[in-house]
Amino acid sequence: MRNDASRSSRRRLWIGGACFTISAMVHAGAVTPASASVTDGRRVLGPSSDSSAVTFTRDVAPIIQRNCQLCHSPGGIGPMPLLTFEHVRRNGPLIKQMVQAREMPPYQYDTHVGIQKLQHDWRLSDHDIATVVRWVDAGMPMGDPADMPPAPKLPAAGEYRLAATYGPPDLIVKAKKYTVPAMGQDRWWRPSVPSGVTSDRCIKAIETRPTVAGRSVTHHANSIFVPGNSNVQPDEAGGGGPGSVRLSEYALGKIGEVVPTDACRIAPAGSNVLFDIHYYPNGKEVVDDQVEVGIWFHPPEVTPQTHYRQTLGLYALQSGSGDFEIEPRGTLMTQGFHRFNTPVRIDSWQPHGHLHLVAKRLEVLYPDGRRETISMVSNWNPGWHHSHVYAEDAAPLLPAGTVMINTAWYDNTDKNPFNPDPDQWVGIGDRTADEMSHAWIAVTQLDEAGYQKLLAKRTKK
Ligand code: HEC
């Protein structure tokens, strides 16, 4: 549960979708690592004889370095730097509150429901959370400066984040430029550009990168491969017309997508990339913004002929009419069902919604009648979209005939801290103040032999 203090500060951060603008302003006056000092004469307590006493240099600094500094450093997207003892001490009580509520690091995924083995999981362990809480409660002692771990090397602002794992992208596809005005309503930009892919390749990872200046106004940026030179408008259900395949989805805060080593998300030769970018002006003009997508490929021996195909799909939740409304100060639950006619493996799950969504769940109903919860997010935050990638030995392997059940809960009351106006009717739509109801799910399409093989491998383990 969010408490009132965090609720009010976060509402302020979100009005007008301006949260990252505020971050940028704070950063303009931020302390640089060079000018910051680790020593604070009044607070140096020296090494403690009590080994259970938590100190900053020995216990807390490694947690902050590993989990927070990527964003909370000058040029990062966090509103303040957390590089030094003094930075962290100054924000101590708020840090305690945010890590205890699992709001920071920003990774909304329930810890006691469904599959817990995820790749690129940002969640802190219970032990790390307890360490931070104990340190704040103990008055935030600095400890022995000699215990301080060396500062990690942080990527430069605007660098591809997956580059730390995979090196620079093999291919970068740039959208055409667009100038986002300072004021006005939502904007959509759908340019088509040549992909530069000359032979069919299999994708290993994808990162959609808004510009540093444009990241607060870029709410979505989806991309699909379309054949030849066609300029097909993307349709809601599954892609951009005949012969098109989805490349990726991006929404605020998302890093990227990762494809398992035994599956092929295809990048077709001779294709164009059609972007579908949703901008939301927030007070400052962004001139010539240019979204780009970095793509890493599997080695050439992984081909569409030798490996099962992985597809990223949009699975809708709304009922048959494709429409819903939430009444002023009302709540709503929607559900969507999808039957797999062939065996599949679910590789990743990404809930999607806007400011009224509060929770989303993925379940499966097996042909034998068993029902299982795969994943749940009950503290949805519209500022952070993640593709939750299941660990390779944990990704749900489903026999033909399994039904996927997606459920979403919405809150249009004033208890929802992100709700811009509880007195409005809310309908389904593309604007930030409208709602959406779908999940992005990457599925490896198997056949019976492939399913049995993967199952045997699992049970052997
Ligand atoms: C992926 C980037 C990212 C990571 C990682 C991250 N933060 Fe943040 N943090 C942000 C952004 C952006 C905000 C402001 C918007 C928001 O609240 O979502 C923020 C807000 C905060 C705030 C609230 C500041 C305020 O004035 O309201 C605190 C405290 C905080 N982070 C602490 C942490 C700590 C501690 C960690 C690591 C355990 C961490 N963050 C990891 C990006 C990040």
Which residues make Cβ contacts (< 8 Å) with residue 309, sequence separation at least 6? Answer: 263, 264, 265, 266, 444, 445
163 lines ligand 1 (CB under 6 A): no
Q: What is the pLDDT, as a whole number, of residue 319?
A: 53
In the reported structure, the alpha carbon of residue 140 is separated from the centroid of ligand 1 by a whole-number distance in angstroms of 19
User: Among the three residues 250, 281, 306, which one is the final residue of a domain in this structure?
Assistant: 306
Q: What is the pLDDT, as a whole number, of residue 72?
A: 93
Ligand 1 atom at minimal distance to the Cα of residue 63: 38
Q: What is the pLDDT, as a whole number, of residue 240?
A: 58
Ligand 1 atom at minimal distance to the Cα of residue 381: 18
Using CA positions, which residue lies closest to atom 10 of ligand 1? 78
* Structural domain includes residue 315: yes
CA distance 149 to 388: 30
Residues 299 and 323 in one domain: no
Hunting for tokens 């759908």 — which residue is that?
190
Q: What is the pLDDT, as a whole number, of residue 345?
A: 97
Residues 130 and 58 in one domain: yes
Residues 321 and 457 in one domain: yes
Tell me the chain's radius of gyration from C-alpha atoms.
Answer: 23
Residues 324 and 448 in one domain: yes
* 338 touches 373 (CB < 8 A): no
**Sign of the CA dihedral running 405, 408, 409, 412:** negative
pTM (2 d.p.): 0.82
Ligand 1 probe mutation, 98, 159, 379, most atoms within 8 A of CB: 98
Q: What is the pLDDT, as a whole number, of residue 241?
A: 65
In the reported structure, the alpha carbon of residue 88 is separated from the centroid of ligand 1 by a whole-number distance in angstroms of 12
In the reported structure, the alpha carbon of residue 237 is separated from the centroid of ligand 1 by a whole-number distance in angstroms of 34
Helix axes 92-100, 126-137, angle to 10 degrees: 150
61 lines ligand 1 (CB under 6 A): no
Q: What is the pLDDT, as a whole number, of residue 201?
A: 95
70 lines ligand 1 (CB under 6 A): yes
**Sign of the CA dihedral running 26, 31, 33, 37:** negative
77 lines ligand 1 (CB under 6 A): yes
CATH number at residue 302: 2.60.120
pLDDT-flagged residues of the chain (< 70): 1-52, 229-242, 318-322
Helix (H, G, I), strand (E, B) or coil at 300: coil
Q: What is the pLDDT, as a whole number, of residue 429?
A: 84
* Structural domain includes residue 122: yes
User: Among the three residues 249, 280, 306, which one is the final residue of a domain in this structure?
Assistant: 306
Q: What is the pLDDT, as a whole number, of residue 356?
A: 96
Ligand 1 atom at minimal distance to the Cα of residue 124: 38
Q: How far is CA 350 from the centre of its chain?
A: 8
Residues 136 and 61 in one domain: yes
CA distance 154 to 64: 13
Distances (CA, A) of 219 to 19, 249, 250, 280: 12, 11, 8, 7
Q: Please give the structure tokens belonging to residue 406.
A: 């997606």
13 lines ligand 1 (CB under 6 A): yes
* Structural domain includes residue 152: no
79 lines ligand 1 (CB under 6 A): yes
User: Among the three residues 89, 123, 147, which one is the final residue of a domain in this structure?
Assistant: 147
Residues 231 and 332 in one domain: no
Q: What is the pLDDT, as a whole number, of residue 317?
A: 76
Residues 170 and 284 in one domain: yes
Phi, psi dihedral angles at 10 (to 5 degrees): -75, -30
In the reported structure, the alpha carbon of residue 227 is separated from the centroid of ligand 1 by a whole-number distance in angstroms of 41
Domain that holds residue 375: 308-461
Q: What is the pLDDT, as a whole number, of residue 321?
A: 53
